[in-house]
Amino acid sequence: MINQDILFLAIITLSLMCLLFLLLLYLTIRKAKEIKKRREIEDYKNKINTQIFSIIAEGKRYRGIGCETAIKQKAMEELLSRYVKILEGEEEKERLSDLASDCLQGYYQKRLKSIRWSHRMNALYHIEDFYMIKLLDEVVILSKKKNITHQELIHVLRILATFQYNGLKEVLYYHDLSEYEYRSILMRLNHDLFDQFVLSFHKSTSPLQYAILDVISLKKAIEYRFFTENIFMSYKGEVRLRALKALAEIGYVSNIEPYLHLLHSSSWQERMVAAKLIGSIQEEKGIPRLIELLHDQIWWVRSQAGQSISQFPNGKAILQSVLETSKDTFARDMAWDWLHKGV
Amino acid sequence: MLNVQWLDFVSVFAWFIAVYMVIVIVFYSVILMISMLQLRKEYQLDRIQAYEDYMDEFYTRPVSILVPAYNEEAGIIQSVRSLLSLNYPTFEIIVVNDGSTDGTLEKMIDQYEMKEISKVVRKQINTKPIKTIYQSTILSNLFLVDKENGGKADALNVGLNFSHYPYFCSLDGDSVLEPDAFLKVMKPIIDSNEEVIASGGSVRIANGCEIKNGHILKIGLSNNPLVIMQIIEYLRAFLMGRIGLSRHNLLLIISGAFGVFSKHWTIEAGGYKTDTVGEDMELVVRIHRLLKEKKVNKKIVYVPDPVCWTEVPEDMTILRRQRRRWHRGLFESLWTHRGLTFNPKYGSIGFISFPYFWVVEFLGPIIEFLGYIFMVLCLFLGGVYIEFAILLFLLSCLYGSLFSMAAVLLEEWSLTKYPKVTDIIKLFLYSLTETIWYRPMTVFWRCEGVWQMLVGDKSWGEMKRKGVSK
């Protein structure tokens, strides 16, 4: 009985021991291999670096740069990644993109089909960075795959946007994304493609609507001010608020009256954004109400009112007089704060 | 007669230990599997690329960095300097001088040409009064708040009240951040469209690395056995435990050394609690609790990428103090929120996280300690076959080492690699010895922590720092 117990434990101990040493063996061999591979990559990078530079910077013809082994491909990828970050000129970018297509197209085609998720993701990152538009078809095919992960999908859509792919709208409508994701895709579009989304605003889901308005706001796209004002007039709730925010960023409205009323809105968010708008277009008629808003019950409204007043040419004087005459401590504090903003 | 009773007790206790060990091993194995799948998936992912998109100012959320400082004149300038070179679009640094008695305040004022400013502080949490607020004339995003002494948690609360941005990060004075630290931890928050409200990164050990001006120049392995054991311990805790727990939103700890929180939810939860030694864990538990009570679906996650390097104790006395304090902090948090345990209202936090922390993390060392005493008693009173004891010991040795080695493997799969083959062999050999000396030692210290708590000792224990940066 006892012997059996001990035998049993001894077997477990031995097998664990074996497992442990196998693990160690695996780790050390791997590590040694990795170190060797890294050295080879660095060596090859040093070898071809000047050549690559003259190809990209001066448009020299290239011959004898091999990309046939995995190590050479990796070296090329790393070098190009480094250059793509520092390049400014369009011509140079184009040359880099050509070079990448010539050397790495096959490599990325294969990688896009890899069963390893990280391989596919890396390929996508580089296709976008090197602007490898020749791989557009492959990327479109990937976007239609059923078992694509969410992260891959987002990146695929970003690439399609960067490449100004005409069918993007259809692909995008087919998927449910978050507001942030929509925004990062829409931000990459040129005017014509973005227009398509603006035109179908009414049919869009709310996250897409928010994203469209945010992009207008971030780009301060003055050409969409009528559209944005229209949205503000005909919608309610968050969409209306986002439109108002976009108008505040654009800094232009055709008729100020409806916005002045908003300074009395029962929703504090509306009061706050309206105050922001009045400040950014510097509408004198709004000043008395802005001064009242300095003692609004909501801190954010008070702070925004202070900021908006300080944007007027005579803003400092107004704040100074509030500080000296107001009986309300909140208003005085806020005036003080905006008078002494920064050092 | 007595002997018969003793033998009964022996077999009952032996069974108890065996069952306990099986439960713990099964639990760890499950967690290990989850972590392995996760890290394997991301192995060799080009992380720099993955973070690049987030450098755009449009997408990122600004962050306030809170640096509580109490008598840190030796390292404060270096710490702030390392923060200033962070790779992140918008952030502010708020150094809170918690009534230091040394030259911390003067040094900061001199170095960064700070000037007094008048500012309305939105008081959302009650704190000790603020004396003066300074802003740097050369760097407009650097602030210094001078306040009366009230402890670390109170200083953090002051920083929270003062901060301007919707997310904040609490930072230990001696941590060295990776330049991409904020991009890394903010990514899940932005990606999830703010469903994630707090996120913590992996903390690594800076002892043995070459650091200059708050930057890691070379990653190295220390020669101090105590430090190497702690490296193994950290790898295991961060790469195994936290990835597994985070995946199912079960995380109860975000390391005090580095974590980003949503200000809104932190304030809603009442800020940091000032009368506990484990204020970081306590806050996370309180936020979880609030989320469950309000029935909102928000998450707290862990990012396996290394984001921050910190100094660990190199000698026994200080390590001992730290471990006693950690264990006391753990108990305080668990005890304050004991109502969550097995409470259906709190879902998986109540049914998995809390029982796990009670049984494995808190009771584990006590049970292990009893086991050691039991072994010794058996030697004298009889009842345990010596061969059996040796084998059991070997087994626990191996199981400890196996998990440690698995953690080293996970480390290889994640980002930072120790550069040499010998480093791996060194980690391996040390992890084999863990059961002989390091584990019993820490188990004993943790039990001391429990004892301190029982007798009502409230001391924090001084932490001496050598300073990691040159």
Q: What is the ipTM of this complex?
A: 0.80
What pLDDT does B404 receive? 86
Q: Do the strands B299-310 and B196-205 form a parallel or antiparallel pair, or are they unpaired? A: parallel
d(CA B29, CA B22): 10
Instruction: Report the SS3 class of residue B227.
Output: helix
Residue B209 has pLDDT above 80, yes or no: yes
* Cross-strand partners of B146: B97, B132
DSSP sequence for B80-99:
HHHHHT---SSEEEEEEEES
Confidence class for position A343, pLDDT limits 50, 70, 90: very low
Q: What is the pLDDT of residues A237-250, one digit of tens each?
A: 999 999 999 999 99
d(CA B32, CA B166): 34
Residue recorded with tokens 């050999």: B429
Q: Do the strands B215-218 and B210-212 form a parallel or antiparallel pair, or are they unpaired? A: antiparallel
Interface of A with B in 274-333 (CB under 8 A): 299, 333
Q: Do A9 and B388 touch (CB under 8 A)?
A: yes
Neighbours of A11 (CB within 10 A): 10
d(CA A163, CA A174): 19
Question: Are the C-beta atoms of B10 and B376 separated by less than 8 Å?
Answer: no
Helical ranges in B114-210 per DSSP H: 152-162, 181-191
Q: Given its phi and psi angles, is residue A30 left (phi above 0), alpha (psi -120 to 50 degrees) or beta?
A: alpha
Nearest to A180 among B117, B119, B193 (CB): B193
Closest residue by Cα to residue B365 from B328, B340, B335, B319: B328
Nearest to A184 among B42, B53, B135 (CB): B53
DSSP sequence for A71-128:
HHHHHHHHHHHHHHHH---HHHHHHHHHHHHHHHHHHHHHHHT-S-HHHHHHHHHHHH
Mean pLDDT (whole number) for A18-27: 86
Q: Do B421 and A28 touch (CB under 8 A)?
A: yes
Q: What is the pLDDT of residues A179-223, one digit of tens each?
A: 888 998 999 999 999 999 999 999 999 999 999 999 999 999 999
d(CA B165, CA B250): 27
d(CA A240, CA A209): 10
Instruction: Kindly tell me the number of DSSP H helices and DSSP E strands found in chain A.
Output: 18, 0
* CA distance, residue B192 to nearest chain A CA (Å): 8
d(CA B221, CA B218): 10
pTM of the model: 0.86
User: What does residue B274 show for φ and ψ, rounded to 5 degrees?
Assistant: -90, -15
Furthest CA-CA distance within chain A: 97
Residue recorded with tokens 């091993």: B25
Sequence-distant (6+) residues with CB within 8 A of B459 are B452
Instruction: Name the E strands within B75-223.
Output: 91-98, 114-117, 130-136, 142-147, 167-171, 176-177, 196-205, 210-212, 215-218
* CA distance, residue A223 to nearest chain B CA (Å): 20
Token pair recorded at residue A270: 């509306």
d(CA B451, CA B339): 23
* Beta carbon pairs, A and B, within 8 Å: 112
Nearest to A117 among B41, B115, B398 (CB): B41
Interface of A with B in 91-120 (CB under 8 A): 116-119
d(CA A75, CA B371): 56
Confidence class for position B91, pLDDT limits 50, 70, 90: very high
What Å distances lie between residue B60 and A126, A197, A246, A247, B193, CA to CA?
A: 22, 24, 18, 22, 11
**In chain B, which residues have their Cβ closer than 8 Å to the Cβ of A116?**
44
Mean pLDDT (whole number) for A256-260: 90
- Residue from B28, B219, B391, B392 whose CB has the most chain A CBs within 10 Å, to mutate: B391
Task: Output the CA torsion B139→B140→B142→B147 (10° steps).
Answer: 130
What pLDDT does B23 receive? 86
Residue B465 has pLDDT above 60, yes or no: no
Letter string b/e over residues A223-237, b meaning 16 or more CB atoms within 10 A of that residue's CB: ebbebbbebbeebee
Q: What is the pLDDT of residues B332-386, one digit of tens each?
A: 999 999 999 999 999 899 999 999 999 989 999 999 888 888 888 887 877 766 6
- Would you call B470 an interface residue with chain A, using a CB distance cutoff of 8 Å? no
Q: What is the pLDDT of residues B382-409, one digit of tens each?
A: 776 666 677 777 777 777 888 888 888 8
**In chain A, which residues have their Cβ closer than 8 Å to the Cβ of B186?**
none
